[in-house]
Structures are given as C-alpha cells and as structure tokens.
Structure 1
C-alpha cells in the first residue's frame, strides 16, 4: 500500500512543466525525428484560421463499414415487425456503399413486407411509414456510384430483387387486404 498523496502533489509522477514522468524539462530534449517515409505530416488545424482556406475544409470521403468500399453514404435502414400483441422497431444505421446498402435494404424491406402487417397499428400506420422511409433510403443508394474492387471479398451480395423474394410477395397479400379495407371504409 502506498502512502497517501500530499496536497498539491501529482500522484501520477509527472513533474509540471516537464515531459511525461521523466523529470527533465521539455526544452532540453532532442527534437523528434521527421515523418516516416510514406507518411507526410498533415497541417494542424488552427482556431485562428477559419473559412475556406482552413486545411480541413473539404470533407473526407466516407467508406462502407461492412466492406470498406468507397464512396459510401450515411443511411438508416429500418425493419418493422407487427406482432399480434406488440410491435418491434429495428434500425440499422451506418455508412454503406451501394452494394452493401442494396443488400441490407432488400433484406430488411422484404422482412418488413411480410412481418409488418400483423398488428392493427402496424397495418395502418407504422409499416407504411417504414416502407416509405426505406424507399427514401433506396433513392439515396441509387445516387451512389459503384464502390470499385473488393480485395478482401467482404462485400455483401445484393441477392434477388425485392419483388422476386418469396417473403416480399407473401407480404403483398396483407398489404392488398389493408388497402381493400381502407377503400371500403372510405367508400362508405
């Protein structure tokens, strides 16, 4: 057991005004070596320099968090399950390239199409809203160019188109029934 620290002392061993725990002043040390070959130093951002001439004015290009492909976009792909007694809401948020985003969107939208209609509030409100939000993500994915080569083979396979999947086709039956009931209510 160590003795208690005195008031005003540093319990971690560093002396103020010196380097980390060495006791020698910072000015007496030899300068640090230059950058390593192939790794140039980047300019340090300054609070005094703001505006378009700042060194970090241009945003860096996003990379897909699943495969590392670039370019990618930030998006949230939703999945809704309407069960008889309760509902489940799921969201996969992140940076995805065109290929991985398409694969995730097809999977979660197909699941939403056949699992989302089985609660009254889900059928009338939450499932259609989830499908509309996923449709908006689809338009964002379509604007992305292809991600380029996949050297590590970690990219998701897009699979079948949405309406060639059996779950999505089965999900159109409850959707048609809900549309029919709403049309009957409106018609009188």
Structure 2
C-alpha cells in the first residue's frame, strides 16, 4: 500500500469542514463569563492596569513622582538631564545612584557648574532619595525587570573624580587669600 492509496480524512475539493462541538458534560457545568470580553492572562496591553500610576521601569504599584537629575559642566557650556515620572524604591534608587555618580564625575568642569549646577542636582537627588526610601519594597509586574542597584555612590570610583576640581578650587582660593 502506497501513500497515495491511504485514505484521507478529507480532500481540498471536499465540502467537509471539521467542527468541534463541546461535550455535553462540559456545557452543563460551564459558567458563563462575567465579563463579555475578558482579557487574556498573557495580554500585554491589559486595560485593567493603569500604567501611568506605576513605576516607569518595573510597573510596581508603590511609587512616588520624583525627578532624578544629572548635571555635566563642560568647559564652555553646561548640560543637564532629568528623568521625570513615578518611580518605585528600587528603580528610583538605581537611577539616583547612576545620575549622582555621573554628576560627581562630570559636573564640576565649568566654574558656574562648580558653584550652582552640580550642587543643585545633588541636593535634588538627595531629596528624591529621601522620598523613595519611605516606600515599601516594590513588587514588579511579571515581565517587567528591575534594574540592578549597583554599589552606593561613594563606593563607585568615578564619584571621586569630583575631588580633582574641588582640590584645584581650594588651591586657587588659598593662593588668592595668601596674596591679600
């Protein structure tokens, strides 16, 4: 018997269309859905979840709206960055550490940045950090990863680059005071 001789359930020209009928025992005990259009458990765009009131990274529910700032003082001009939004404790702390380290490393290379820009960004980040520390530990939604916290700011080597312009500024002030 060859493959062409074997019986086929239906052929392309046949009018047979297979249909599945649920068994009676299932239909007798099935409960009708309460919602006419239920959202699938695996749905990415679940309309029941308001993502505007959740963490921007992990979609945790316990959030506080804060702005995380970074300041870069270049030789001639300055550049500031900020991240607005609701942040949970872990995600906000991670970005505050990253942006504060960047400010300590790159925020002092302009005279105006040394006096105004970098200290303002660091004070704003400290205030945001105090607000984030009051939150409970976050519970992210499945499929929304949380960033790595990393080391604290003062345990990161780039944070100590700020000592170079600070030492130069102190030496300059000491030289000016000694001449007077």
Say yes or no: TM over 0.5.
Answer: yes
For CA contacts below 8 A with separation 6 or more, give which structure has more relative contact order: 2
Where does structure 1 lack aligned partners over 5 or more consecutive residues?
Answer: 1-33, 40-60
The partner residue of 1:102 within 86, 89, 93 is 93
The whole-number CA distance in structure 2 between the counterparts of 1:106 and 1:182 is: 30
Instruction: Count how many residue pairs are aligned between Structure 1 and Structure 2.
Output: 135
The Cα RMSD (Å) is 3.0
The partner residue of 2:106 within 87, 112, 115 is 115
SS in 2 for 1:121: helix
Residues 24-173 of structure 1: pairs in structure 2 closer than 5 A: 36=35, 62-148=53-139, 151-152=142-143, 154-173=145-164
The whole-number CA distance in structure 1 between the counterparts of 2:109 and 2:128 is: 24
**Superposed displacement of residue 37, structure 1:** 6.4
Cα shift readout 1:29-69 (whole Å, capped 9, x = no counterpart): xxxxx961697xxxxxxxxxxxxxxxxxxxxx932111111
The whole-number CA distance in structure 2 between the counterparts of 1:120 and 1:80 is: 13
Deviation >4 Å, runs of 4+: 179-188
CA contact (8 A) 1:71 1:97 kept: yes
TM-score, normalising length from structure 2? 0.65
Cα shift readout 1:112-171 (whole Å, capped 9, x = no counterpart): 001010111001111111111111111111111100256325111111111111111222
Q: Which structure would you say has the larger Rg? A: 2
The whole-number CA distance in structure 1 between the counterparts of 2:151 and 2:163 is: 17
**Superposed displacement of residue 85, structure 1:** 1.0
CA contact (8 A) 1:114 1:172 kept: no
From the two aligned structures, give the one with the greater helix fraction: 2
